[in-house]
Amino acid sequence: MSATSTALRQLPADLNRDALPKHVAVIMDGNGRWAQKRKLPRIMGHHRGADTLHDLVLCCKDWGIESLTVYAFSTENWRRPEKEVNFLMLLIEQMLRREMRFMEEEEVRLRVVGNVAALPKALRKEVEESMERTAHFKSLNFNVATNYGGRQEIVQACQAIATQVQAGQLAPGEITEQHFEQVLYTAGATDPDLLIRTSGEMRVSNFLLWQLAYSEFYVTDTLWPDFDREEFHKALVAYQDRDRRYGKVTGSAI
């Protein structure tokens, strides 16, 4: 750990602890470009990206963020070259195994959100074990979106609700936003207050389409492997400068 990051173990003094986002979501983009800039294979970017993620998990815990959700693998990422897909599957599996002691020591609750049933068997097994072993921890909710697609999540939620209607448990007119939230992959979690996207792209890329309805967006040109505590600090400063109105007006404006 560098001298700067050691100093940043504490919440920076210019941040208001009471106005921190409770839930931060991150689109970790730019691993490939980070590697290409260094004439390295793309997978080296993902490797470094995994280290960056480890640091961010610890940082969220140190600074008192309650929940962190990251986009590790989208339903569209299957279209990448087979070698890269296989590498990412293995990396996520290894991360879950390798980081288990860390998550237990730091009391991090891990959840994988997405279509887990369609993941390779070895990864599925690791997912189930990690979720079970960390289910009782409360210091940070760490959600890893894997084989996740926002549209697909909404479609499967509709299917679940339709099944309840068909079974006579619910009338169509009784369906509320709360019913819907209960059948999303993220059931039980709060919506993100802040979405961070690295590498400068201004897209939501099918991530948490329902849950991001009122999230603040922060985009940085920094590539994901370079997103350190200083960068996270900048994102939180920007967040604390925002006026979250949820469709209302503030003050006495007419």
Burial of 111 (0-12, 13-18, 19+ CB in 10 A): buried
> Which position among 24, 25, 26, 31 is part of the footprint of ligand FPP (CB under 6 A)?
31
Instruction: Considering the complex, state which of residue 67 and residue 199 has its C-beta at the smaller distance from ligand FPP.
Output: 199
The C-alpha atoms of residue 227 and residue 209 are separated, in whole angstroms, by 24
Question: Hey, which residues does 113 pair with through a beta bridge?
Answer: 145
Cα–Cα distance between 56 and 229 in angstroms, integer? 7
- Please work out, in degrees rounded to the nearest 5, the angle formed at the alpha carbon of residue 189 by the alpha carbons of 45 and 109: 60
In terms of CB distance, is 32 or 149 closer to ligand FPP? 32
Q: E-strand spans in 157-252?
A: 194-197, 216-219
Which of 55, 77, 191, 206 is the catalytic position? Answer: 77
Q: Which is nearer to ligand FPP, 71 or 239 (CB)?
A: 71
If one asks whether residue 114 binds ligand FPP (CB under 6 A), the answer comes out as: no
* 141-180 footprint of ligand FPP as x/- string (CB under 6 A): ---x------------------------------------
72 is a contact residue toward ligand FPP (CB under 6 A)? yes
Does residue 147 carry a catalytic annotation?
no
53 binds ligand FPP (CB under 6 A): yes
For residue 157, the minimal CB distance to ligand FPP (Å) is 24
Whole-number Å distance between alpha carbons of 85 and 183: 28
- Strands 108-113 and 67-74, by their bridges, are unpaired
Residue from 21, 30, 114, 192 in contact with ligand FPP (CB under 6 A)? 30
Q: How many residues does the structure list for the chain?
A: 254
Give yes or no for residue 50 binding ligand FPP (CB under 6 A).
Answer: yes
Tell the smallest beta-carbon distance from residue 104 to ligand FPP (Å).
17
Whether residue 16 lies in the annotated active site: no
Do 195 and 27 touch, CB atoms closer than 8 A? yes
What's the alpha-carbon Rg for the chain, to the nearest Å?
19
* Binding pattern for the stretch 206-225 against ligand FPP, x by CB under 6 A and - elsewhere: ------------------x-
When the beta carbons of 23 and 48 are compared against ligand FPP, the nearer one is 48
* C-beta separation of 88 from 53 below 8 A: no
Across-strand partners of 216? 194
Among 77, 156, 164, 240, binds ligand FPP (CB under 6 A): 77
Identity of the residue, 31 or 69, whose beta carbon is nearer to ligand FPP in the bound complex: 31
Measure the CA–CA gap between 107 and 56, rounded to whole angstroms: 15
Q: Which of 5, 15, 22, 33 binds ligand FPP (CB under 6 A)?
A: 33
Please pick, among 14, 16, 18, 29, the residue that the annotation labels catalytic: 29
Q: Are the C-beta atoms of 201 and 217 separated by less than 8 Å? A: no
Interface positions with ligand FPP (CB under 6 A): 28-33, 46, 49-50, 53, 72, 77, 88, 91-92, 95, 144, 199, 224
